[in-house]
């Protein structure tokens, strides 16, 4: 049995390759689940849920930019998510390329009605964002959410 498991692992690896596995939204989301939980429900008062508000944000241009910048630059300071206040700090998710940011955001907003994020779209938000720190991204949130 152990031999079969190793054989399957090896052939699976060869078939998909490490790059494809790392570009899969559900796989990338595992790093988010450490705080936002596997089902995106979050932890009240600490880590916001990634549910209805995030899906709504994905439906507006400013909201889409905000979501991309949250992942690329991090977010901190006072924000409101699903009517509840948060004042925490999410570190920038370093090391994700444009395709990976698009994939993880598409995973987070799956089931919503917004169009899919594309790598090209993410590249546009990333360009010129180097001067933004997490607090600056946090200040983008109320307008993005239409509050």
Closest separation in Å from C-beta 16 to ligand HEC: 21
Site membership for ligand HEC, residue 77 (CB under 6 A): yes
Which listed residue (24, 37, 92, 93) binds ligand HEC by CB under 6 A?
93
DSSP sequence for 55-109: HHHTTSHHHHHHHHHHHHH-EEEEEEETTEEEEEEE---TT--HHHHHHHHHHHT
Q: Which two tokens stand for residue 20?
A: 């494809």
Say how far apart CA 83 and CA 59 lie, in whole Å: 18
Site membership for ligand HEC, residue 51 (CB under 6 A): no
Which listed residue (86, 98, 102, 121) binds ligand HEC by CB under 6 A?
86
Which listed residue (79, 99, 109, 140) binds ligand HEC by CB under 6 A?
79
Say if CB 60 and CB 144 are below 8 A apart.
yes
Q: Which residues pair with 76 in a beta bridge?
A: 89
Q: Which residues contact ligand HEC by CB under 6 A?
A: 31-32, 34-36, 47-48, 50, 53-54, 67, 70-71, 75-77, 79, 81, 86-91, 93, 104, 108, 138, 141
């Amino acid at each position: 049995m152990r031999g079969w498991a190793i054989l399957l692992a090896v052939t699976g690896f060869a078939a998909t390759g490490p790059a494809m596995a790392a570009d899969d939204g559900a796989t990338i989301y595992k790093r988010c689940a450490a705080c936002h939980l596997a089902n995106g429900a979050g932890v009240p008062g600490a880590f916001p849920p990634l549910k209805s508000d995030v899906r709504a944000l994905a439906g507006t241009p400013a909201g889409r930019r905000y979501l991309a910048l949250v992942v690329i630059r991090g977010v901190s300071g006072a924000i409101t998510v699903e009517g509840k206040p948060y004042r925490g700090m999410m570190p920038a998710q370093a090391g994700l390329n444009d395709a990976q940011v698009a994939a993880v955001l598409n995973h987070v907003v799956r089931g919503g009605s917004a169009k899919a994020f594309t790598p090209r779209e993410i590249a546009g938000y990333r360009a010129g964002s180097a001067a933004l720190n997490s607090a600056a991204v946090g200040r983008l949130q109320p307008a993005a959410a239409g509050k």
